Structure 1
Amino acid sequence: MRLLLIEDNARLGSLVRDGLIPQGFAVDWVETVEDAELAMKVATYDLLLVDLGLPDGDGLDIVRRSRRDKNATPILVLTARGGLDDRVTGLDAGADDYLVKPFQIPELAARCRALLRRPGASLGTQLAAGKGRAAERNRKVS
């Protein structure tokens, strides 16, 4: 499964990336809203992990823009903003889950897997040849 991690804190970004890769996730990591938008134009992601406090904008803008553009990719917000109003705002903006820092990597990984199990979640890379199809996510060939 390919994830886009949008996190400006180098230490935390490195910990998240290095913690998720051994669990079978491919992680692309960017640090700004601008880089996230570029990454989403050139690659397909199964899940977005979005920090809210970014140096060039608010991660909620990424969430809102994704939903406005009818992008159904699951979004998990990772943030220090843990107040009730913050959580409600994030979820109402279109996030599928909201995890407050600090968190543990096993919980983050479990939440990622749960989001990816939901009906309608991205199927990852799909290949087609003639009538045959192969989906990376569930490793099924039909």
Structure 2
Amino acid sequence: MIERILFVCLGNICRSPLVEAVARQRFAEAALDIEVASCGTGGWHVGAGADGRMQEAAAAAGYRLDDHRGRQLSVADFAHYDLLLAMDCANLRDMRRLAPHAIERTALFLDWAGVAPMLEFPDPYFGGQASFVASVKLAEQGVAALIERLRAG
């Protein structure tokens, strides 16, 4: 049974905090009692808030990221979380390198949720505001599919 999910991206200021916020809200609406959190594989943004462009796009869709503070993935996360979902293949590779003993609990977020044909969640960081808005839509789609898979068992 999955009780705790960690969403992982590179810096923990765009994709993973967004997916965490969408999942927290949608899981509550779906009456799923699952703890969610997010982090990054890199430590550049530890303690920093979510990217302002992502905060703006998320807020427009009804999700709050203003309390988010970036943190870096640690070996202890693999003991705490039942499922660790990476936003892209580079994140997944870094996760598996850090904890090869936990490979079976790691996967790509969109792939594990069953969002075909998407495997990776594109990083909006170097794009314009439209890429951040598109990220919100993709996060909502991914979390909806994730809920379906979790309910199906």
Relative to the length of structure 1, the TM-score reads: 0.48
- Of structures 1 and 2, the larger Rg is shown by 1
Q: TM-score, normalised by structure 2?
A: 0.45
More helix by share: 2
More strand by share: 1
